[in-house]
A and B are shown apart, each in its own frame.
Chain A
Amino acid sequence: MKKTVYTLCFMCSVRCPIAVVVEDDQVVSIEGNPHVPAMKGGVCPKGAAAVGWVNDPQRVHGPMIRSGARGAGQWKTASWDAALDYTADRCRDIFEKYGSKSAVYCERVNLATDVSKTFMKAIGSPNYFSHDTVCKGSINTACRSLTGYTDAQINADWGNARHVILYGRNIFESMEVKAMNALLDAMRQGTKLTTVDPRVSITAAKSSRFMMIRPGTDLALNYALMHVIIKERHFYDVKYVDRWVEGFDKLCNFVKDFTPEWAEGETGIPAGDIVQLAKEINEAKPAVIFHYGYRGSSHPNEIYFRRSIMILNALMGSIEAKGGVFVKKGPKDVGLTAGIRKFSDQQFPKMADGRRFDGCGQDKFPIADTAHGVGAMFPSAVLNEDPYPLKVLFAFRYDPLFSLCDYQQTLRALEKLELIVSCDINFGGTTSRADVILPESFFLERSDPLQMAAGLKPAINRRIACIKPRFDTKPMWWILKQLAQRLGVGEYFPYETIEDIWKYQLADMGIQAEDFDKKGFVSLSDKPLLWNRENGIQFKTPSGKIEFVSSLMEKHGFASFPPYENLDTPQDRFRLIVGRCAAHTNVMTQNNTYLNELVPENVLWINSNRAAALGIKDTDLVEIASSVGSGRLKAFVTNMIHPEAVFMLHGFGHQEPESRRSYRRGVADAMIQESIVDPVGGSPAFDHTLVTVKRV
């Protein structure tokens, strides 16, 4: 008999609500949850391809202990007891010598993240970091410096916006389905979309205006927009700025020389176009979204670029406006006294040494978010034993080897570790080099802790198993509890089953697990919740306002408005910029049978004129090289990229022999990118590396 299960996808981190039709324990179809209209009944190509992993012979089929050299592809299958005992025994030995702080835990934030954090607190190590730090650390810090909220605590009201400005934010290829549809619907009603990017993405092609910008100069464009908005035209929302902004005078003074004519020289965008954009934004305000994320223009000063975006939102009065940027609302905003209970909120023994491996929230990155850490510091912390020896890595659903810049450095760091424990669905780069693999069940095969989805209309979402695990795999919340028990800290995991977890989470909310059966989620509000713009916006900064002059930054010695620094690309080099396509999620999906067929490898986008000068023709094999590495891939010669930039998709060039479809297809951007970090915000400068390109 066919049945429909409402659950949450996890082919990427968006976690779209989906409807899975199952018959005889087989997946018949995966479509969008029909109870969520913005899904339009569909899913993205990754969601459609999820089935490709269910019976994949190249998945991790059960617990494994390494039997050959690291990365040689030689494994001994083990029972769960044997693999967990082995892991715990090795941990105990290492912890005895170096302390439990010698363990680092990294993961892609997921529904079991609360359990991950509980595990680290229970064993007594402060060294947790998440994918978020690498993806958007500086965005997080920029948003907090201005509003007190992280980027994850705000969102964009796409559907009601009248003008949206995206900086490299590739909304039509990153496939956040609900947001994408809200924007497409709005565009059908006349909403304008301006895309700023050195390269023509699908998003650029769907935009009403595309501005091909010189790589690394987005900040100049924004300063010029501010100049026009404040100095030349008085376009800003005077009432809003008077009420909600601290440090406006400082900004006025700061932007007085950043004329559109100056910005034209920096960005290559005609001054008249900049003024025209400002005029159109003025007409649309406050229903304007300058989107703060995600890929694009990541340089060592990224914090200031991300701040400039949010400052533009504030100037147009768009923060907490219909059609603007809003603070996500949660249980307290709908009158509930409590939200979802967290295991990580229990009382844990105090750690003897609270120093983190990355110095996040401490000496090295005083204002980066400790909830996510500064993952980019992991390799150097291991190699330099700074601030102390790191010996164990738990890489749970995250692959630092291909995700962090400078692959060779990360590889050396992994080699130095005494124990690598990986929890993965398939063989990623780090998993392939692990000492022990504790494989997680695929998202269609497992139930997970509930998700509090704060938003304009807050809701709680549930992932529930649709089919039985095909192989000897387990959910992460189970694996972590087993490990914790073996390490003598099982008492912090007061559950046996997923139902126990749901009950614990919902204990204070008056909601039952059965309430999710009908639609897969429980809505906490029917109407969108916006705070009163006169006096009700609850900014979490010390002043309760949007702090153009940031107390968070100034307190730690970081200027709010440092002088603009010009970023030049030498004539014989290119700036390597990276991004994504609709088919793949970071470094995770390249071996999926369907997605691999759709986009099997990356190519190097290079400007036609620059290519001609180098004697490079379309589809020629070229070598790209930086100070840290090189690789060979095919050239895509096009006029759709700025002459100073070359572009490649993130996530290819896999080296793990077990993943045969993606093995050595294309080039890993991590192999080329230098490890440079924004010292204020904490993001790696993904788009900063200078490269040479030559025909092979």
Chain B
Amino acid sequence: MGDYLIYTDPASCVACHACEIACKVKNQVPAGASLGKIVVLGPRLMNGQPMMSSLFVPCFHCEDAWCLNACPVNAIRKRNKDGLVYILRELCVGCKSCILACPWHIPQWDAAAGKAMKCDLCMDRIDEGLEPACVAVCPTDALQFGEPAALSQKSREAYGLGLLGRSRTRYGH
């Protein structure tokens, strides 16, 4: 995902799909298409108790991107500074090669414009110091955005502090 990661915390996700709607609003995605998608397993019953889990699937911004390699007119570019893969709309000729080439068919089709469109992780927002629209809108903070190292630090710290807070033993004593 370029230099970034979007992490889904299934315990916090309530499968409300606000992420998808905020993405559509921000990126003017036509009906039927979705740049970012929240995939939900369940609710389903396991031994009489219901379970559910979710995972947000935006574009992965692959290091060696199939879509970029497939584009015959070089309309798909990769930013040097952070590796985000995006479409230059004015160059897109609408051949759909990128959609076919992507193993997950992540680029979307904008029928009205006759062009492909894809998640650019809201790079304009990133450049303003903001999070992608999908992450920013999440009402339960189930989606977290950042650089992998920072996310790892944050998660480990939260886990450690949780243990320390709950434990009656004093670690190190």
Is A210 in contact with B50, judged by CB distance below 8 angstroms? yes
Shortest C-beta distance, B25 to chain A (Å), equals: 5
Is A184 in contact with B18, judged by CB distance below 8 angstroms? no
Task: Decide: A594 near B24, CB < 8 A? Known: A42-B18, A582-B16.
Answer: yes
Interface flags for A16-34 (1: CB within 8 Å of B; 0: not) read 0000000000000111100
Interface size counted on chain B using CB atoms at 8 A: 33
Interface: A41 (CB within 8 A): yes
Interface: B138 (CB within 8 A): yes
Give the contacting residue for A180; candidates B20, B42, B139; CB below 8 A. B139
Is B21 in contact with A45, judged by CB distance below 8 angstroms? yes
A45 to B139 Cα, complex, angstroms: 9
Interface: B12 (CB within 8 A): yes
Task: Decide: A40 near B140, CB < 8 A? Known: A45-B17, A205-B51.
Answer: yes
Interface: B52 (CB within 8 A): yes
Give the contacting residue for B21; candidates A173, A206, A207, A598; CB below 8 A. A598
Is B25 in contact with A42, judged by CB distance below 8 angstroms? no
Is B136 in contact with A31, judged by CB distance below 8 angstroms? yes
Give the contacting residue for A594; candidates B15, B21, B133, B141; CB below 8 A. B21
A597 to B138 Cα, complex, angstroms: 19
Is A45 in contact with B18, judged by CB distance below 8 angstroms? yes
Interface: A583 (CB within 8 A): yes
Task: Choose, from A48-56, A143-151, A530-538, the stretch at the interface.
Answer: A48-56
Shortest C-beta distance, B13 to chain A (Å), equals: 9
Shortest C-beta distance, B56 to chain A (Å), equals: 14
Shortest C-beta distance, A52 to chain B (Å), equals: 7
Shortest C-beta distance, A9 to chain B (Å), equals: 11
Interface: B22 (CB within 8 A): yes
Task: Decide: A48 near B18, CB < 8 A? Known: A42-B137, A188-B11.
Answer: yes
Task: Decide: A639 near B45, CB < 8 A? Known: A181-B139, A206-B52.
Answer: yes
Task: Decide: A39 near B139, CB < 8 A? Known: A44-B16, A45-B18, A205-B52.
Answer: yes
Interface size counted on chain A using CB atoms at 8 A: 45
Chain A residues with Cβ under 8 A from B114's Cβ?
none
Interface flags for A578-622 (1: CB within 8 Å of B; 0: not) read 000011000000000111011000000000000000000000000
A493 to B136 Cα, complex, angstroms: 41
Is A42 in contact with B140, judged by CB distance below 8 angstroms? yes
Is A593 in contact with B31, judged by CB distance below 8 angstroms? yes
Shortest C-beta distance, A207 to chain B (Å), equals: 8
Chain B residues with Cβ under 8 A from A49's Cβ?
21, 25
Chain B residues with Cβ under 8 A from A172's Cβ?
14
Shortest C-beta distance, B17 to chain A (Å), equals: 5
Interface: A640 (CB within 8 A): yes
Shortest C-beta distance, A643 to chain B (Å), equals: 14
Is B25 in contact with A175, judged by CB distance below 8 angstroms? no
Give the contacting residue for A29; candidates B26, B43, B52, B139; CB below 8 A. B26
Chain A residues with Cβ under 8 A from B48's Cβ?
210, 212
Interface: B49 (CB within 8 A): yes
Closest to A190 in B: B166
Interface: B44 (CB within 8 A): yes
A661 to B136 Cα, complex, angstroms: 28
Is B21 in contact with A31, judged by CB distance below 8 angstroms? no
Interface flags for A250-273 (1: CB within 8 Å of B; 0: not) read 000000000000000000000000
Chain B residues with Cβ under 8 A from A190's Cβ?
166
Interface: A480 (CB within 8 A): no
Chain B residues with Cβ under 8 A from A598's Cβ?
17, 20-21
- CB-CB contacts below 8 Å: A40-73 with B: 40-45, 47-49, 51-52
Interface flags for B29-48 (1: CB within 8 Å of A; 0: not) read 00110000000001111001
Chain B residues with Cβ under 8 A from A40's Cβ?
138-141
Interface: A202 (CB within 8 A): yes
Shortest C-beta distance, A171 to chain B (Å), equals: 9
A414 to B12 Cα, complex, angstroms: 45
Is A184 in contact with B12, judged by CB distance below 8 angstroms? yes
Chain B residues with Cβ under 8 A from A200's Cβ?
43, 45, 50
Closest to A175 in B: B16
Give the contacting residue for B25; candidates A41, A48, A180, A640; CB below 8 A. A48
Is B139 in contact with A175, judged by CB distance below 8 angstroms? yes
Chain B residues with Cβ under 8 A from A123's Cβ?
none
Is B45 in contact with A594, judged by CB distance below 8 angstroms? no
Interface: A625 (CB within 8 A): no
Is A184 in contact with B24, judged by CB distance below 8 angstroms? no
Is A205 in contact with B137, judged by CB distance below 8 angstroms? no
Interface: A177 (CB within 8 A): yes
Is A206 in contact with B14, judged by CB distance below 8 angstroms? yes
Interface: A204 (CB within 8 A): yes
Is B140 in contact with A43, judged by CB distance below 8 angstroms? no
A43 to B17 Cα, complex, angstroms: 11
Shortest C-beta distance, B24 to chain A (Å), equals: 6
Give the contacting residue for B49; candidates A52, A180, A210, A595; CB below 8 A. A210
Is B140 in contact with A181, judged by CB distance below 8 angstroms? yes
Shortest C-beta distance, B23 to chain A (Å), equals: 9
A39, A173, A202, A582, most chain B CB atoms within 10 A:
A202
Chain A residues with Cβ under 8 A from B31's Cβ?
593, 597
Shortest C-beta distance, A191 to chain B (Å), equals: 13
Closest to A28 in B: B26
Shortest C-beta distance, B109 to chain A (Å), equals: 16
B22, B31, B32, B48, most chain A CB atoms within 10 A:
B22
Interface flags for B124-153 (1: CB within 8 Å of A; 0: not) read 000000000100111111000000000000
- CB-CB contacts below 8 Å: A635-649 with B: 639-640
Chain A residues with Cβ under 8 A from B22's Cβ?
29, 48
A52 to B30 Cα, complex, angstroms: 12
Is A202 in contact with B15, judged by CB distance below 8 angstroms? yes
B50, B138, B166, most chain A CB atoms within 10 A:
B50
A238 to B14 Cα, complex, angstroms: 38
Task: Decide: A173 near B14, CB < 8 A? Known: A39-B139, A42-B138, A43-B139.
Answer: yes
A177, A206, A210, A593, most chain B CB atoms within 10 A:
A206
- Known contacts A30-B137, A175-B14; 6 further A-B pairs (Cβ under 8 A): A29-B136, A32-B139, A52-B25, A206-B14, A210-B50, A640-B45
A sample of 9 inter-chain contacts (CB < 8 A) reads A29-B22, A29-B133, A45-B18, A184-B140, A200-B50, A202-B43, A205-B52, A593-B31, A595-B21
Closest 7 A/B residue pairs (Cβ): A205-B43, A42-B139, A582-B16, A205-B50, A48-B21, A205-B52, A45-B18
